[in-house]
């Protein structure tokens, strides 16, 4: 309700909220103003603690619930059932699985090419067939570059979200300690 206090401040906001079905259509502006006026004075101490640590989207909240499993949760998902049918699950899972398969397949093919090229004759100056040696060197270097690019891609795909998640967790713990210190000093 505190969010509604901030979002619906004038009759135009009220009309938009009614059009988007955020507010029942049988309430007028005067009734709404009287009702919402009581929520202006609600402080941070009166709301759930999860609002003290920034905004949590429902998807993030679902992951947090799955990881920490609160005692009062009755099922695994608790806040949202993410898939109502197998079709939705398959639509979401297909692209990451195809990407994983394709990237691993490309990396393994590149490793196979790199291993198939005779390394002992790649850099030697004594060779019977100079063109074949240059072609072997080009294929070997390209295969190594593909494997390194594959590794870099996976480090970025896994590293950036991991760093963002760790920074959010550390921010939450640091903020919680600061709020606890403030609360103990005021008591």
Tens digit of each residue's pLDDT (9 = 90 or more) over 47-74: 766 666 556 666 776 677 666 666 666 6
What pLDDT shows up at residue 173? 80
Residue labelled with tokens 């941070």: 44
Alpha-carbon gap, residue 84 to 33, rounded angstroms: 38
Classify the C-alpha dihedral 28-9-16-20 as positive or negative. negative
User: Mean pLDDT across the stretch 6-25?
Assistant: 87
Name the residue ranges covered by the structural domains of the chain: 2-42, 97-186
Alpha-carbon gap, residue 99 to 113, rounded angstroms: 21
Whether 62 contacts 79, CB under 8 Å: yes
Alpha-carbon gap, residue 67 to 76, rounded angstroms: 10
**pLDDT band with cut points at 50, 70 and 90 for residue 23:** confident
**pTM beyond 0.75, yes or no:** no
Q: Who contacts 123 (Cβ-Cβ below 8 Å, separation ≥6)?
A: 137
Nearest to 8 by CA among 30, 28, 36: 36
Alpha-carbon gap, residue 113 to 136, rounded angstroms: 10
Q: What is the mean pLDDT of the chain?
A: 80
Helix (H) or strand (E) holding 82: none
What pLDDT shows up at residue 136? 86
pLDDT, one tens digit per residue, over 108-142 is: 999 999 888 887 777 777 667 778 888 888 899 99
Q: Who contacts 35 (Cβ-Cβ below 8 Å, separation ≥6)?
A: 27
What pLDDT shows up at residue 66? 67
Q: Who contacts 118 (Cβ-Cβ below 8 Å, separation ≥6)?
A: 136
User: Cα–chain-centroid distance for residue 167?
Assistant: 13
Q: Who contacts 53 (Cβ-Cβ below 8 Å, separation ≥6)?
A: 171, 172, 175, 176
pLDDT, one tens digit per residue, over 138-177 is: 899 999 999 999 999 999 999 998 998 888 888 878 877 7
- Dmax (CA) for the chain in angstroms is 94
């Amino acid at each position: 309700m505190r969010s509604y206090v901030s979002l619906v401040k004038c009759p135009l906001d009220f009309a938009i909220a009614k059009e988007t079905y955020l507010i029942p259509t049988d309430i007028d502006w005067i009734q709404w103003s009287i009702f919402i006026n009581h929520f202006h004075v609600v402080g941070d101490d009166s709301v759930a603690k999860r609002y003290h640590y920034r905004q949590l989207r429902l998807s993030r909240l679902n992951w947090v619930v799955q990881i920490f499993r609160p005692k009062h949760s009755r099922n695994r998902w608790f806040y949202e059932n993410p898939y109502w049918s197998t079709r939705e699950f398959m639509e979401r899972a297909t692209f990451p699985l195809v990407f994983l398969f394709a990237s691993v397949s490309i990396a393994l093919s590149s490793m196979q090419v790199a291993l198939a090229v005779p390394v002992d004759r790649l850099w030697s100056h004594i060779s019977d067939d100079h063109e074949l040696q240059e072609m072997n060197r080009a294929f070997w270097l390209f295969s190594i570059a593909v494997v390194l690019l594959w590794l870099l891609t996976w480090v970025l795909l896994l590293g950036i979200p991991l760093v963002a998640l760790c920074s959010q967790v550390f921010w939450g713990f640091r903020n919680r300690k600061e709020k606890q210190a403030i609360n103990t000093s005021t008591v």
